[in-house]
Structure 1
Amino acid sequence: MTMQHTLKAYDEELERLRAHISEMAGRADAELADAIRALLERDSALAEDVIARDRQLDEMEAEGERMAIRIIALRSPVADDLREIMAMTKIINALERVGDYAKNIAKRATVLIHALPEAPSQLIGLLTSEVRRMLSDVMDAFVRHDADAAIEVWERDARVDAIYDSLFRELLTYMMENPKRITPSTHLLFIAKNLERVGDQATNIAEVVYFAIRGEQLPDHRPKGDESAYLQDPASGEKAG
């Protein structure tokens, strides 16, 4: 095989991996959108569908990692190419986590079918829109190799945290007004926290995209506004921060 053919094959492998990641991003966003729609429209069938679909993202994560490992093993990339491939593996992992958050939201949606609090749930839509825009914009930055766009997404994390904090306070007030609201409102708190985590994953992706392009780390102190990191989600076994 000539050097030209080798380089062409290498470029094609990189392009397939990029396309795989773009498909993952589309699926993760669709899961998230459907999970929230299932919640707000009280659609248990759609919620169950989201839960079932998460397995596809798990499989795509494993396949994407295999593709990246194969490229590294066979092509021995260096410098810019190696940074991009390592960044892509981190993006793959982040997108799988978005799917996990969507699945968790869908599970809670099935519980809230007959008990969704009306007033506090309005901010859920705003928070969802914000994190979905972040995810879409950071994936555009990845595709375009646009470091400045990645920074812009990174800086928007503080807005997500501010919306989350407003919702957190509103739900606490809502619960204190009537003890019967505690259980459904607690589910909404964890749904909101999962959405805030999606924003964190978009911010993580922005950091690795920036590093892949510029070869430099963004500042350690990312813009944060969330003061409720102590929140513990028993459904996931994770600390919510």
Structure 2
Amino acid sequence: MSKHLERDLQTLEQALLAQASIVESMIRTASRALCERQVELVWDVMDNEQLVNAREVTIEEECLKILALHQPVAIDLRRTAAVLKINGDLERIADLAVNLGERARALDNYPDFYGSENLQKMATMSVEMVRGAIDAFVEFDASQASRIRNRDGEVNDLNVLLIEEIHEIMRTRSDLVEAALHYFSATRHIERIADHATNIAEDVMYLVEGEIARHRYETQPQNNPAK
């Protein structure tokens, strides 16, 4: 590998880590705005949206330049591909943080609506998954990425519990149905953040191991009942 390629890859990866830091801050702030009813924090999330969008385009352009100019192979090609894919997931997570902020503003109109501790747990877990997936990328650690991937089931389980709680509110408090629908949307946004964190973890596994981890469990050979 040429020193020019290594320099460009390092610059690219640093740009991705800076983007990840901004996005992580956005989801932490949006979660606080929602769970702690600090609606004034939403403006901080909104202010960062355009920055993230602009940086996403720049990072993608740099990935394409590296592919065109250096024509990387093997691990260098995987590094570039991983950055390209992670970059897209981070931008989508930022969009979901904005959506969370919008739900926080909507729920501010319903002071009688009380949230669930499970939403706070779910939000915290999703933020931890994003942070852990990025750490696995930095540390080139497929084992850590695999652990992050496996936590998605925990978030899904909390989501099921939250949906049951929301259904109960809608059955017993007709005056809070609209608020409950906003809350349901918030749970979906948080669950999607965890899904994108899982995508990032799988990209890290691909980067390190050279094998696509996505849907790997679906491709395991099945026992032949005829034998």
Could you say whether these structures have the same fold, taking a TM-score greater than 0.5 normalized by the shorter chain as the test? yes
Classify 1:128/1:116 alpha carbon distance in 2 versus 1 (closer, same or farther; 3 Å).
Answer: farther
Unmatched runs of 5 consecutive residues or more in structure 1: 1-5, 224-241
* Aligned counterparts of 2:216 and 2:157: Cα–Cα separation in 1: 17
Q: Is the 8 A contact 1:160 1:196 kept in 2?
A: yes
The structure where helix makes up a greater share of residues is 2
Q: Is the 8 A contact 2:85 2:203 kept in 1?
A: yes
1:202 Cα deviation after fit = 0.7
2:222 corresponds to:
none
Comparing 95-104 with 144-153, greater Cα deviation is found at 144-153
Deviations 1:183-232 (CA, angstroms, capped at 9, x unpaired): 11110111111000010001111111111111112261669xxxxxxxxx
2:224 corresponds to:
none
Name the SS of the counterpart of 1:63 in structure 2. Answer: helix
Identify the match of residue 175 of structure 1 among 153, 170, 185: 170
Letter in 1 for 2:91: E
Matches within 5 A, 1:1-241: 7-115=2-110, 118-218=113-213, 220=215
1:179 Cα deviation after fit = 0.6
Classify 1:219/1:34 alpha carbon distance in 2 versus 1 (closer, same or farther; 3 Å).
Answer: closer
* Aligned counterparts of 2:53 and 2:111: Cα–Cα separation in 1: 29
Q: Is the 8 A contact 1:147 1:209 kept in 2?
A: yes
Q: Is the 8 A contact 1:38 1:47 kept in 2?
A: yes
* Aligned counterparts of 1:221 and 1:124: Cα–Cα separation in 2: 30
1:122 Cα deviation after fit = 2.2
1:181 Cα deviation after fit = 1.1
TM-score (norm 1): 0.85
Q: Please report the RMSD computed on the Cα atoms of aligned residues, expressed in angstroms.
A: 1.7
Deviations 1:98-124 (CA, angstroms, capped at 9, x unpaired): 000000111111111131565443222
Residue identity (%): 29
Name the SS of the counterpart of 2:2 in structure 1. Answer: helix
Classify 1:118/1:222 alpha carbon distance in 2 versus 1 (closer, same or farther; 3 Å).
Answer: farther
Name the SS of the counterpart of 1:30 in structure 2. Answer: helix
Deviations 1:110-145 (CA, angstroms, capped at 9, x unpaired): 111131565443222100110111111111110111
* Aligned counterparts of 2:103 and 2:163: Cα–Cα separation in 1: 17
